[in-house]
Amino acid sequence: MVKYIIQFSTDFHLMVALAAIPDASNNKILMLGPRTSLAIKVASYLQSEFFDIDAREPKVTIFEAFKLLVNQNKYGEVVIVSPFVYPFFAAMAAKKNGDTVKSIVRTDEGIGSYASVTHYYTALRLEGQLSVLGALKRALAKKSAMWVTKSFRICKEMYLFKSDLTIDQTISERLRFILENLGLSKQLDNCVVYVSQPYVVSSFESGQCYADFIKLIAGHCGEGLRFIIKKHPRDDFDYESYGFDVACGMPLETYSLNNSVVFGFSSTALLMAKFFSNCRDAYFIKMDGFGPFYNNMSAMNRNLFDNYLKCIDSKI
């Protein structure tokens, strides 16, 4: 039996990593990531070992990284599945346990998997912790590292979306099976659902302007339906104080969305709702500005949104 180590930092990471494992319920799985409601549910369902950690924390030297790569062996016992460029935490955990890494499968981190340097740069600048030069260097380093690890076959990529914009049917079927077995909530059926993201509100003159805007869009694409916010875990805007109903906790993919309309800016969840729920429609808002918006995405991501989602202009 092959042992799988999943290193993740979001619920989406965990779901697509599970979909990359053949028959996840019959394999030994070790989960390394944050203790979310979904992670707890998955660990219980699969009877997996689960360690609550921040998988982005470990810092390694070039020498340590080289030793980890040398330790990788096609005859090993462990397969690491993760969206990380190189999942050092999982590799270090395997080495500490005396296991040899057989292979590394890099799975989706969301639309970031198909991002350009500009896309990464925008995301890093929005986080506000890096200078212009620092964000540019980090974005270039990440894109270069992804290319190197793929070109030298250090990591095998197994993404949900292919370069021709089609969806990988194997991953899709496995993911659908996992979601159905976890149980889909009907809480967001017959609703118009706004999929929130962090850093969006800063592009508006005030919180009230932002609240009025999303209310306007909701009325435009889901008239007559109950309006509810599906809040992103890192979005700190206080929607309740503006009178909105809010759903948080479990990811959008774990809701059935029967007869619902979904809209947002550039969230991966919009694409996931289109493919894995029974939603009536899924819209993205096309808006100018420096933020997590359509114009700052990579060409492939824009093509995915154009191909599968409906567009609403912010100037309606």
What is the chain's mean pLDDT, rounded?
Answer: 87
d(CA 27, CA 43): 13
d(CA 177, CA 170): 11
pLDDT at 114: 79
pLDDT at 175: 93
> Class for domain 191-313, per CATH?
alpha beta
Query: Is the pLDDT at 245 greater than 90, yes or no?
Result: yes
d(CA 156, CA 72): 13
Element (H, E) at 94: helix 88-96
pLDDT at 255: 94
Domain 3-182, second-level architecture? 3-Layer(aba) Sandwich (3.40)
pLDDT in tens, 27-83: 899 999 999 999 999 999 999 999 888 876 656 555 666 566 666 666 568 899 998
Residue 275 or residue 150, greater confidence? 275
Q: Which among 149, 13, 12, 163 is positioned nearest to 83, based on CA atoms?
A: 13
E strand intervals along the chain = 3-7, 28-33, 49-52, 78-82, 101-106, 156-157, 191-195, 226-230, 245-247, 261-264, 281-286, 310-313
Q: What is the mean pLDDT of residues 193-213?
A: 94
d(CA 88, CA 71): 12
Query: Is the pLDDT at 136 greater than 90, yes or no?
Result: no
pLDDT in tens, 253-300: 999 999 999 999 999 999 999 999 989 999 999 988 887 888 888 889
pLDDT at 70: 60
Q: Which among 96, 245, 256 is positioned nearest to 179, based on CA atoms?
A: 256
**The whole model's pTM is what?**
0.87
Judge if 3-182 and 191-313 fold alike in CATH terms. yes
pLDDT at 66: 59
Q: State the pLDDT confidence band at 97, using cuts at 50, 70 and 90.
A: confident
d(CA 268, CA 209): 25
Residue 187 or residue 222, greater confidence? 187
Q: What is the mean pLDDT of residues 206-231?
A: 94
Kindly state the tokens that stand for 277. 């729920």
Sign (positive/negative) of CA torsion 123, 125, 129, 130? positive
pLDDT at 69: 62
Q: Where are the domains of the chain?
A: 3-182, 191-313
Query: Is the pLDDT at 217 greater than 80, yes or no?
Result: yes
Q: State the pLDDT confidence band at 244, using cuts at 50, 70 and 90.
A: very high
Q: What is the mean pLDDT of residues 105-123?
A: 81
